[in-house]
């Protein structure tokens, strides 16, 4: 799906309870809790220029895999913007994935880019559930609004419903006319925090929950003409 991944930051201020990327603490040598630190890779744009010159062939770049590229500190450092400028300016296709409407700041770059697509992660349509699992991330409404603007400006959009949380059924209504496609996934529990694990355990038949709800959601989205892929299989 992707040839490369680019992470301008280590750590993530959003600190979602289910985040699989918390294993990055090991590499960052950080003792703080996940969500309480963000390391800024100040020389990322310079390294990226070197890398793009070295590679013979352009490939799709996932921005980002283990952090949100639109951290609150991105407003100050602009690393994601500079990296996107380098990639898109050199004809490298990008898949941006974020929870933040700050991505709209870079609409100019995304509109001119060849093969760019932007995904907003939305795990539920219920703000109460969102606050429980993603207390520091942007509100659902802001993410949906960002999708609307991107699509109306001609940027290819998708929604990443991962992990699928209770209340996700309401997303069919919210995503109508705002996305080109949807991906649905469950979560990797190994790196989730205690809050998430507790709730996962309470969903006694969680594998069954994911399979049933994921398939129902997929059918509903497809009935609306939105292509949808469920990435997980039953366990």
Could you list the residues that contact ligand SF4 (CB under 6 A)? 12, 14-16, 19, 21, 67-68, 99, 137
Tell me how far, at minimum, the Cβ of 40 lies from ligand SF4, in Å.
Answer: 15
CA distance 28 to 189: 21
**Closest separation in Å from C-beta 112 to ligand SF4:** 26
C-beta closer to ligand SF4: residue 46 or 195: 195
CB of 196 to ligand SF4, least distance (A): 11
Closer to ligand SF4 by CB, 137 or 172: give it: 137
Residue closer to ligand SF4 by CB (options 23, 89) is 23
Place of tokens 């699989």: 20
The CA distance from 218 to 227, in Å, is 8
Closest separation in Å from C-beta 13 to ligand SF4: 8
* Complex with ligand SF4: residue 67 or 211, whichever CB lies closer: 67
Closest CA to 115 of 222, 7, 9, 3: 3
CB of 67 to ligand SF4, least distance (A): 5
Instruction: Retrieve residue 39's tokens.
Output: 């390391």
**Cβ of residue 17: shortest distance to ligand SF4, in angstroms?**
9
Helices (H), 29-125: 44-54, 74-77, 79-89, 107-112
Residue closer to ligand SF4, measured from CB, 85 or 185:
185
- 3-state helix, strand and coil shares in percent for the chain, rounded to the nearest 5: 45, 15, 40
Count of other CB atoms within 10 angstroms of residue 124: 22
β-pairing, 156-161 vs 117-121, is parallel
Contact 224, 174 (CB under 8 A): no
201 CB-near residues (< 8 Å, 6+ apart)? none
The residue among 12 and 118 lying less far from ligand SF4, judged by its C-beta, is 12
């Amino acid at each position: 799906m992707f040839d490369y991944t680019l992470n301008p930051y280590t750590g993530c201020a959003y600190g979602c309870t289910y985040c699989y990327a918390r294993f990055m603490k090991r590499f960052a040598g950080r003792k703080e809790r996940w969500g309480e630190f963000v390391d800024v890779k100040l020389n990322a744009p310079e390294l990226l220029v070197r890398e793009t010159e070295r590679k013979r062939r352009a490939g799709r770049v996932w921005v980002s895999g283990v952090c949100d590229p639109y951290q609150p500190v991105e407003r100050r450092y602009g690393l994601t913007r500079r990296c996107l400028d380098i990639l898109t300016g050199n004809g490298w296709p990008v898949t941006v994935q974020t929870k933040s409407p700050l991505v709209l700041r870079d609409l100019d770059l995304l509109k001119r880019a060849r093969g760019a697509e932007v995904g907003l992660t939305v795990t539920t349509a219920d703000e109460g559930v969102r606050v429980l699992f993603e207390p520091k991330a942007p509100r659902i409404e802001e993410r949906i609004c960002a999708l609307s603007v991107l699509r109306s400006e001609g940027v290819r959009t998708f929604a990443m419903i991962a992990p699928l949380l209770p209340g996700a059924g309401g997303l069919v209504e919210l995503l109508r006319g705002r996305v080109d496609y949807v991906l649905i996934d469950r979560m990797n529990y190994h790196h989730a925090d205690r809050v998430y694990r507790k709730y996962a355990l309470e969903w006694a038949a969680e594998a069954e929950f994911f399979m049933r709800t994921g398939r129902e959601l997929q059918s509903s989205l497809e009935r609306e003409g939105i292509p949808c892929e469920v990435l997980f299989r039953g366990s």
